[in-house]
C-alpha cells in the first residue's frame, strides 16, 4: 500500500534551515577563541603565515595552467621565429613544461607549508578544548552524572575531540582556499575568455554547491540518528561489561547481546542510508560539473574552429576547470565533514554548557578547621520537590566525637553524607563545620577536610600503590606503605608477587570486598582528614571480615570527628550518640543502652538483626556439621544403635 506523503506547513523547512545555520554559526563562534587564542601571539602568527601561504599557493595554482597553454601553443605552431634554430625553438616548450612542473611543485609546497604551520594551531585547539571539557565534567553535579550513561558520555567527548581538528582544518585550510580559488578562477576566465564562460562556470558552481549543501543537510539528519544509536549501543555495551558478574549470575548473556544488537540494527540502518546517500551525492556532483565543463569546452572548441582561440586556449579552459574540480570535489566531502563535525561539536559544547549545580560563591574562602565539629541545623532537602528526603534534621557531632546515623532503608542516611560533601546544596537550613556554613567556603577545601570510606569502594584500574596513594598524590612510597600497615593490608600486599605494584583490575575487581575496603581505609589514613565519614563501610562484608575491618576503622576514627552511617547496628554500639532516622526525620537519639531501654524503633531494629544473626550462626553450624558427615544431634548412619 502506498504511503501518503506527509505535508509540512509552509515556512517550516526554511525555519528549520535558519535554525540549523544559526546553530552552526553559534558553534563556530564558540570554537573561534580556540583557533585564535587571545594569549598566544605565536599561534596567531602561525595562523597569519598559514593564510599567506594559502593565498600564494592559490595564486600559483590558478596561473599554473598558463604554462600548459603556452607549451601547447608553442608545440602546435610550426613556424619558428626568424633567427631561431629548430633546437632553440624546441627548447621553448620544454622550458614551459619545466616551468609548469615547477609551478605545480611550488603550489604543493605552499599547501604543505600552510598545513605544517597550522598543525600547532589545530592541535592546541584540540588539547585546550578537550581539557576544558574534561575539567567541566568534573565540576558538574552528582545529579548530572547519575542521570547520564558513562559510555554515551565518553562517545560525545571522543567524537567532539576528533571533530575539533576536522572542523578547524576543513574550515581554515580547505573552505577558505576553495572560495579563494573560485574567485581567482572567475577573474582569470573573464580576462582570458569572456563573461559567457564566467556565467557558465558561476552557474555550475552555484548548482554544485546548492546541490551539495541540500543533500548534505539531509545526510546530517541521518548522521544524528546514527550517532544516537551509536551512543545507545556503546552505553549498553559498557553497562553490560561493567556488570559482567551480574549478567553471569542470571545467565542473561543472550538478553544483553540482543539489547546490544537491537541498537546496532538501528545503527546499521542509518549507516546504510549514509552510504547510499553519499553515492547519490557523488553522482549528482559529477553530473553537474561534467555538464558545465562540457559547455565551456564546446564554446572553446567553437572558438578554435572560428580562429578566435588557439588550441592552447582549449587546453587552458580544460586545465582551469580540472584545477577547479579538485577543490570543488573536495567541497562535497569538506562541507559534509564540517557539518558532521559541527553536529559532534554542538553536542560537546552543549555538554560544556551544562551549568554546575553547586558553585563556590565569588567571595568563598578556605575552610578553616580548628576542632572539626559538624552541625546540621534544621536541614531540609529534596531531589524532587514533590518528594522531600530530609525534613528538618538537626544534630551536632562535637570535635573528636563519633555520631552514628541509623534507620530503615530510604530514611535519608546516605543523603546526609552527600550533603556534607556538598554534592548537593540543602534546600533549607544549613550545615556548619566549626561554625562555618559550608556554602560559604571553597568546595575543594571542604572535601580536603573530610575523609570517606564508602560501602562500595571503586578502585582505579591501576596498581595498589596508585590507589592507596590517591588519598594524597604528593605522598611518597614510605608514607603509602605506612598507611597500608595501619589499615592492616600490608601483610596481604606483601604476599602478592608484585606487591604494591599489583594491578587491581577495572573497578578493583581482582580484589575481594574486604581487601578493597582496606585499600579505602588506607587511602583515607593517608589523606589524614580531621573529619571522617563511614558510609555503610562494612554492610557488604561477612561477619568475620566485618570485625577485622571494624577494628581498623576504630583505629582510624580515633581523635577524629566521625559520622558513621550504618546498617548493621552492632558496628555503632560504642558511638557517643546514635541518631535514628525514619522518613527523613529524627525519630530517636541517644546512646546504645538508652535506646534499647526506650523499646522503640532502634530496639526493634536491634532485635530483628540479632535474630537474623543467630539464625545465620545456627545455619553456619549446621552446614559445618553436614560437611563433617552428619548434622548436629544426628548419629552417623554407620554407627550401631545403642
Q: How far apart are CA 148 and CA 157, in angstroms?
A: 13
Q: Regarding beta strands 585-590 and 450-453, do their DSSP bridges make them parallel or antiparallel, or are they unpaired?
A: unpaired
- Domain 460-528 in the same topology as domain 361-449+529-631: yes
Domains in the chain: boundaries? 17-352, 361-449+529-631, 460-528
Which of 43-52, 83-92, 127-136, 523-532 bottoms out in mean pLDDT, i.e. has the lowest? 83-92
Higher pLDDT, 536 or 304: 304
Per-residue pLDDT tens digits for 570-613: 888 888 999 999 888 999 999 999 999 998 898 998 888 888 77
At residue 420, the pLDDT reads 92
Q: Is the pLDDT reported for residue 238 higher than 70?
A: yes
As given in the structure block, the three cell numbers for residue 360 are 563556590
CB 136 within 8 A of CB 160: no
pLDDT band at 332 (very low <50, low <70, confident <90, very high): low
At residue 638, the pLDDT reads 39
Per-residue pLDDT tens digits for 301-320: 988 888 888 888 888 888 88
At residue 51, the pLDDT reads 82
- Helices 12-35 and 195-242 sit at what angle, rounded to 10 degrees? 80
Q: 53-57, 227-231, 335-339, 426-430 — which one is most confidently predicted on average?
A: 426-430
At residue 579, the pLDDT reads 93
At residue 577, the pLDDT reads 93
Q: Which CATH architecture has domain 361-449+529-631?
A: 3-Layer(aba) Sandwich (3.40)
**Full 3-state SS string of 316-370:** HHHHHHHHHHHHHHHHHHHHHHHHHHHHHHHHHHHHHCCCCCCCCCCCCECCCCC
Q: How far apart are CA 546 and CA 566, in angstroms?
A: 12
H-helix segments, 449-499: 464-469, 477-486, 490-495
CATH node for 460-528: 3.40.50.300
Q: Is the pLDDT reported for residue 403 higher than 70?
A: yes
- The DSSP H or E segment spanning 617 is helix 601-627
Q: How far apart are CA 72 and CA 3, in angstroms?
A: 59
pLDDT cut 90: percent of the chain above it: 12
Does domain 17-352 bear CATH number 1.10.1040.10? no
At residue 125, the pLDDT reads 80
Three-state SS at 78: coil
pLDDT band at 405 (very low <50, low <70, confident <90, very high): very high
Higher pLDDT, 510 or 642: 510
Higher pLDDT, 480 or 63: 480
pLDDT band at 79 (very low <50, low <70, confident <90, very high): low
Three-state SS at 428: strand
Q: Is the pLDDT reported for residue 274 higher than 50?
A: yes
Which of 159-163, 332-336, 527-531 bottoms out in mean pLDDT, i.e. has the lowest? 332-336
Per-residue pLDDT tens digits for 2-22: 443 333 444 444 444 545 555
Which of 159-168, 288-297, 472-481, 491-500 bottoms out in mean pLDDT, i.e. has the lowest? 159-168
Per-residue pLDDT tens digits for 509-535: 778 877 888 888 888 888 888 998 888
At residue 138, the pLDDT reads 78
CB 321 within 8 A of CB 293: yes
Higher pLDDT, 104 or 581: 581
Amino acid at each position: 500500500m502506498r504511503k501518503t506523503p506527509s505535508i509540512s506547513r509552509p515556512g517550516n523547512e526554511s525555519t528549520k534551515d535558519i535554525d540549523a545555520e544559526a546553530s552552526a554559526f553559534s558553534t563556530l563562534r564558540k570554537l573561534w577563541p580556540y583557533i585564535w587564542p587571545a594569549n598566544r601571539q605565536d599561534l596567531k602568527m602561525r595562523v597569519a603565515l598559514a593564510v599567506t601561504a594559502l593565498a600564494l599557493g592559490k595564486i600559483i595554482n590558478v596561473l599554473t595552467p598558463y604554462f600548459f597553454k603556452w607549451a601547447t601553443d608553442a608545440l602546435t605552431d610550426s613556424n619558428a621565429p626568424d633567427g631561431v634554430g629548430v633546437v632553440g625553438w624546441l627548447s621553448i616548450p620544454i622550458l614551459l613544461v619545466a616551468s609548469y612542473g615547477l609551478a605545480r611543485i611550488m603550489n604543493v609546497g605552499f599547501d604543505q607549508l600552510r598545513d605544517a604551520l597550522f598543525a600547532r594551531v589545530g592541535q592546541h585547539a584540540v588539547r585546550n578544548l578537550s581539557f576544558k571539557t574534561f575539567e567541566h565534567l568534573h565540576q558538574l553535579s552528582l545529579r548530572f552524572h547519575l542521570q547520564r550513561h558513562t559510555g554515551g558520555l565518553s562517545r560525545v567527548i571522543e567524537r567532539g575531540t576528533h571533530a575539533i581538528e576536522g572542523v578547524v582544518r576543513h574550515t581554515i585550510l580547505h573552505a577558505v582556499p576553495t572560495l579563494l580559488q573560485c574567485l581567482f578562477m572567475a577573474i582569470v576566465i573573464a580576462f582570458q575568455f569572456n563573461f559567457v564562460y564566467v556565467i557558465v562556470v558561476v552557474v555550475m558552481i552555484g548548482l554544485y554547491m546548492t546541490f551539495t549543501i541540500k543533500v548534505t543537510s539531509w545526510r546530517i539528519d541521518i548522521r544524528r540518528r546514527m550517532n544516537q544509536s551509536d551512543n545507545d549501543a556503546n552505553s549498553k555495551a559498557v553497562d553490560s561489561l561493567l556488570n559482567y558478574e551480574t549478567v553471569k549470575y542470571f545467565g542473561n548473556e543472550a538478553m544483553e547481546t540482543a539489547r546490544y544488537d537491537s541498537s546496532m540494527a538501528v545503527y546499521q540502518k542509518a549507516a546504510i542510508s549514509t552510504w547510499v546517500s553519499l553515492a547519490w551525492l557523488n553522482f549528482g556532483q559529477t553530473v553537474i560539473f561534467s555538464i558545465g565543463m562540457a559547455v565551456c569546452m564546446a564554446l572553446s572548441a567553437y572558438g578554435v574552429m572560428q580562429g578566435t582561440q588557439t588550441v592552447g586556449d582549449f587546453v587552458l579552459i580544460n586545465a582551469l576547470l580540472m584545477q577547479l574540480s579538485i577543490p570543488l570535489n573536495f567541497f562535497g566531502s569538506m562541507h559534509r565533514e564540517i557539518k558532521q563535525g559541527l553536529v559532534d561539536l554542538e553536542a560537546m559544547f552543549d555538554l560544556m554548557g551544562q551549568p554546575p549545580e553547586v558553585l563556590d560563591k565569588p567571595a568563598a574562602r578556605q575552610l578553616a578547621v580548628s576542632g572539626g565539629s559538624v552541625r546540621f541545623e534544621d536541614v531540609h532537602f529534596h531531589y524532587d520537590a514533590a518528594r522531600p528526603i530530609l525534613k528538618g534534621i538537626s544534630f551536632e557531632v562535637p570535635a573528636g566525637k563519633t555520631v552514628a546515623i541509623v534507620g530503615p532503608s530510604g530514611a535519608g542516611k546516605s543523603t546526609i553524607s552527600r550533603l556534607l560533601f556538598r554534592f548537593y546544596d540543602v534546600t533549607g537550613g544549613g550545615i556548619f563545620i566549626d561554625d562555618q556554613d559550608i556554602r560559604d567556603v571553597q568546595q575543594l577545601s571542604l572535601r580536603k577536610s573530610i575523609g570517606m570510606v564508602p560501602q562500595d569502594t571503586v578502585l582505579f584500574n591501576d596498581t595498589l600503590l596508585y590507589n592507596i596513594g590517591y588519598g594524597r598524590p604528593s605522598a611518597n612510597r614510605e608514607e603509602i606503605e605506612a598507611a597500608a600497615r595501619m589499615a592492616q593490608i600490608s601483610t596481604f600486599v606483601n604476599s602478592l608477587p608484585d606487591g604494591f605494584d599489583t594491578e587491581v583490575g577495572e573497578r578493583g575487581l581482582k580484589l575481594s570486598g574486604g581487601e578493597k575496603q582496606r585499600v579505602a581505609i588506607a587511602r583515607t589514613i593517608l589523606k589524614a582528614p580531621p573529619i571522617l565519614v563511614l558510609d555503610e563501610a562494612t554492610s557488604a562484608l561477612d561477619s568475620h571480615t566485618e570485625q577485622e575491618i571494624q577494628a581498623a576503622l576504630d583505629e582510624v576514627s580515633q581523635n577524629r570527628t566521625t559520622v558513621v552511617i550504618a546498617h548493621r547496628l552492632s558496628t555503632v554500639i560504642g558511638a557517643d550518640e546514635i541518631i535514628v532516622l525514619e522518613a527523613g526525620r529524627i525519630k530517636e537519639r541517644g546512646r546504645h543502652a538508652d535506646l534499647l531501654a526506650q523499646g522503640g524503633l532502634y530496639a526493634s531494629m536491634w532485635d530483628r538483626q540479632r535474630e537474623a544473626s543467630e539464625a545465620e550462626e545456627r545455619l553456619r553450624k549446621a552446614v559445618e556439621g553436614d560437611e563433617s558427615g552428619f548434622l548436629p544431634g544426628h548419629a552417623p548412619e554407620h554407627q550401631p544403635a545403642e
